[in-house]
Copies of this chain bind each other. A is one copy, B any other.
């Protein structure tokens, strides 16, 4: 058991999630590396100090360069706005420090490519935080597909849908402006990452992207970014796919959901019931064939955060703790951990292709 100094940049929702995870992960998983909450960085000294005391860090700073350079910060967690990701990561890698970066990797494809190059040049552990994919259910879905439980995949449908911006009278915020903050920049990466992980590379796609509420209070005549997007696609293995994304999907709270159809079975998942994975197997006897509602639990020990007893259920924070464990393990063993920065860049590539297709009205080949 050895301590490792953690620096987190960003103290908001995700910064807090990672701070809690780093506090808890040692006890939960009895990790060999034990995080020490060394430094938190926020946009001002005051807010940084507030986060420091709230989350229990040793020190605080308003300058991420100070954090990255500090010798007691041995690993860096990036939970700040997208347009800061690249510079922080490059600085950290230059100092040979492992980096965990919240999704999406870069603010655009160029940033992501530079970040991948920096990571590879450094040889350091690098990991992207897509969070939801680390539920026990989704991890198990990946394993089921990989072990051929449903045969050859022929169809994938995924969505990431929420309704936090569905009310047209909600005033515009920074989220409603700038390509990176729209639905394709903010929500789409989650499900694109899931699709790539579950099925494999996307070969080509035809997309449609739109703004639904263009006259919110506070818009003041400015063009708003995208509320909704979708594409049909073919994966490299020939499977047909459809992905859709929305922040105006009235009624959907965490519509991170997918269905995977194979030649001998099918899988369904919806994050709104995150402890259940549905599996259909064609080789069950015909009269007792049906989708099985599998509750993740002790029978899935590789994917669980903390559940020696039956059916206890995992929540959002558990996923983040699993991410922390995996990041620490990668550092300890100096091995690559999925999703790497390269995986994160692949997600950016798909987002870029979708934008291009939506603009040109043509299929795009990746």
Contacts and interface: CB of A to CB of B under 8 A. Distances in A.
B244 A157 contact: yes
Contact of A54 (B27, B261, B300, B317): B27
A323 to B, nearest CB: 14
Nearest to A34: B56
A242 B230 contact: yes
A45 interface: no
Interface string A51-80: 001111000000000000000000000000
Interface residues of A, number: 99
B292 A288 contact: yes
Given A157-B244, A162-B310, A168-B263, A20 B28 contact: yes
A121 interface: no
A13 B309 contact: yes
Contact of A295 (B53, B253, B316): B253
A167 interface: yes
Please provide the 9 A-B residue pairs with the shortest distance between their CB atoms, ordered closest to farther: A253-B311, A315-B315, A254-B311, A251-B280, A312-B316, A290-B292, A290-B294, A251-B266, A314-B315
Which of A249, A253, A292 has most B Cβ within 10 Å? A253
A321 B175 CA distance: 31
A312 B311 contact: no
A212 B238 CA distance: 9
A348 interface: no
A238 B21 CA distance: 44
Interface in A270-310: 271-276, 279-282, 284, 286-295, 297, 299-300, 305-310
